Amino acid sequence: MLVICYGIAKSGSTLAFELVKGVLESAGHSQKKLKGAPGIKPRGRGNHMESVEKADLAALIDAVGPDRIVAAKTHKTFDDTLFAWMEEQQRLRRLQVVASYRDPRDICLSLIDHGARSRDSGRRGFSRIKDLDDAEHVVSRAIGKFAKWGALEGTLRLYFETAAFDPDAAIAAIEGVLGVKGDAESAKKHAFEDAFTQRNKAKRSRYLDEMDEAEQARMLKTFGPFIEQACLAQDDQWYRAVRGRLLAGMPSEEIGVG
């Protein structure tokens, strides 16, 4: 089974990926790089996907096969027309999606931090993000992409606050959806000590201290339903609405973040 770990940038996506890898490795499933496999970056660190086209996905699923469970990470999103096919692959247990996400207010702050570091070091990644306007635009687009992965029936949605601050609960959820039993302490050591992760400010709800009232009100106006339903309530209402619209043929760019 192929496990695709998708995440919004700066949402703890690398941490979620490494927790999945740690669980699988401790359960006896090797996570060595799938060298030469379809859609896997040849020079990337670990199993990072450079394509989510149907042909590449199908070939990669076949390459992994039914006897192994291998995790791969991506920030890319699949075409709207593949939504039903992706759900079928999950129902057949040939594919499992783990989609990581975070309160968009904290993602915006993390993006601004990363932008400043990129400019200071002369790197291009996120260097264009200088303020809340820039970050809000990026996150709005990112949530639209996350919506498709998160709305797939059977996807494990892994909240940043859980992965970062309650990893035992995150590991239990990963084990449950993958049908394996690993070693939690080994998985945590891998993810938090041994693996490469983007260790940013390890703080809950940064926006409370780092956004003024006007900025917080602006974020709620833009991201309100996602914050209230997906992040705070963590129920299925927001995702059910997205799934229904995608299955009805509505283009994903029209779904929005509300």
**Where exactly are the structural domains of the chain?**
2-254
| 157 has a pLDDT exceeding 80 | yes
- Distance between CA atoms of residues 212 and 26, nearest Å: 44
Please report the pLDDT score of residue 204 as a whole number: 86
Task: Find out whether 111 and 215 touch, Cβ atoms under 8 Å.
Answer: no
Give the pairing type, strands 70-74 and 2-7: parallel
**For the segment 17-62, what is each residue's pLDDT rounded down to a tens digit?**
999 999 999 999 999 999 889 899 988 778 999 999 999 999 999 9
CATH class of 2-254: alpha beta
Strand partners, 101: 159
**For the segment 200-246, what is each residue's pLDDT rounded down to a tens digit?**
556 788 999 999 999 999 999 999 999 999 999 988 989 999 999 99
Confidence band (pLDDT; 50, 70, 90) for 168?
Answer: very high
Q: Worst-scoring range by mean pLDDT, 31-45, 63-77, 83-97?
A: 31-45
Helix H or strand E segment including 5:
strand 2-7
Q: Of 157 and 42, which is predicted with more confidence? A: 157
Q: Indicate the pTM of the whole model.
A: 0.92
**For the segment 104-139, what is each residue's pLDDT rounded down to a tens digit?**
999 999 999 989 988 888 887 788 999 999 999 999
